[in-house]
Copies of this chain bind each other. A is one copy, B any other.
Amino acid sequence: METLLLNKEEVSSLIDLDAIRAAVEEGYRSFNSGLVVQPKIMDVALPGTHEGVDFKGGLDMGSGYITLKASSGGYDNNPKLGLPTGMNTVMLFEAKTCALKCVMDGTFITGCRTAAAGAISVKYLARADAEKLCVLGAGSQARRQLEAMMRVRKLTEVRAWDALPEFLDKYVKEMSIETGLNIRKCRTAEEAVRGADIVVTTTRGRSGPIVKKEWIQPGTHIAAIGADASDKQELDADVFAGAKVVCDSINLCVERGETHNAVKAGIIRPEDIHAEIGEIILGRKPGRENSDEVTIFDTVGMAIQDIVTAAMLYKGALEKGIGTRYEFFK
């Protein structure tokens, strides 16, 4: 019984954002069809430090795979040792036999499947004629979101902002070349948000909310990406007032997504949340219903996204003959 090994470079060569978006969309369908098992994250951390490994596991009866994603965070020691602070590895099991089919570097999986989530929300919730995108934050997720969103809407203008000017400069320069789009460097978040049709928030969310309600024009779609823990926030809580709120998982978002902040502040109740994105994809609930409503998509991230992405990469590798075959059970 062979296991396929895929390193970072090989995984990178297999990345296809359209295919990942399609896979994640299928994954959301599975989730809202009751085909997904996703236990709580297992957190193995050194007490009193940020050092540790998180294990996220899940099973998708739709694709027929189980994954375990190990996310290592060596925040305190690694920079001194010249090692990356975050390292991800994914084990992929065939659900039918529980055999370990693949172990792959997971560096790109989280970024790409999160970008896919943002793009799917744009596909189903942004206005069809949305063309002005505001990207808040200028890290790797800000890159992935732009790359993914430009594939689902014809963008004519991109506004970029980050609290760190050197980060912003680099982003604008590099992403202009990569995408061929007109990317405008904004001095304030307000300048970036006002007049945008789509707003995507990708900051670390640790310095308090960035986006104010009065900056948002009617008909805007907001993809709230950065806040995936109960101590993170990127939107003022009242941005949720009167908006159509869609979550990847209502339970997770109420517990620790951007939605958590709005619920805690009493701006919305969990029962005011319009839908989970999979319900919209399945056609069970409407997406955008007019050109004036403000829509918010909140994502914390789910194992199902890792499963479908890893399964797609694995199948792509088999097809193209990429990777190293190894026999653990010999």
Binding site for B on A (CB under 8 A): 1, 5, 7-9, 37, 39-40, 42-47, 51-53, 55, 57-59, 61, 66, 68, 70, 72-74, 77-78, 81, 83-84, 87, 89, 91, 93, 95-100, 103-105, 107, 324, 326-330
Say whether B96 contacts A330, CB under 8 Å. Answer: no
Say whether B44 contacts A5, CB under 8 Å. Answer: no
Select from chain B the residue with minimum beta-carbon distance to A3: B89
Select from chain B the residue with minimum beta-carbon distance to A8: B329
How far does the alpha carbon of A99 sit from the alpha carbon of B71 in the complex, in Å? 10
Q: Given that A44-B39, A95-B46 are contacting pairs, would A55 and B57 also be in contact in the complex, using a CB cutoff of 8 Å?
A: yes
Say whether A52 contacts B57, CB under 8 Å. Answer: no
Say whether A72 contacts B99, CB under 8 Å. Answer: yes
Residues from chain B with Cβ under 8 Å of A81 in the complex? 97
Select from chain B the residue with minimum beta-carbon distance to A40: B42
Select from chain B the residue with minimum beta-carbon distance to A303: B44
Say whether A7 contacts B327, CB under 8 Å. Answer: yes
Say whether B1 contacts A98, CB under 8 Å. Answer: no
- The minimal Cβ–Cβ distance linking A78 to chain B, given in whole angstroms, is 6
Q: Given that A59-B45, A329-B7, A329-B87 are contacting pairs, would A74 and B98 also be in contact in the complex, using a CB cutoff of 8 Å?
A: yes
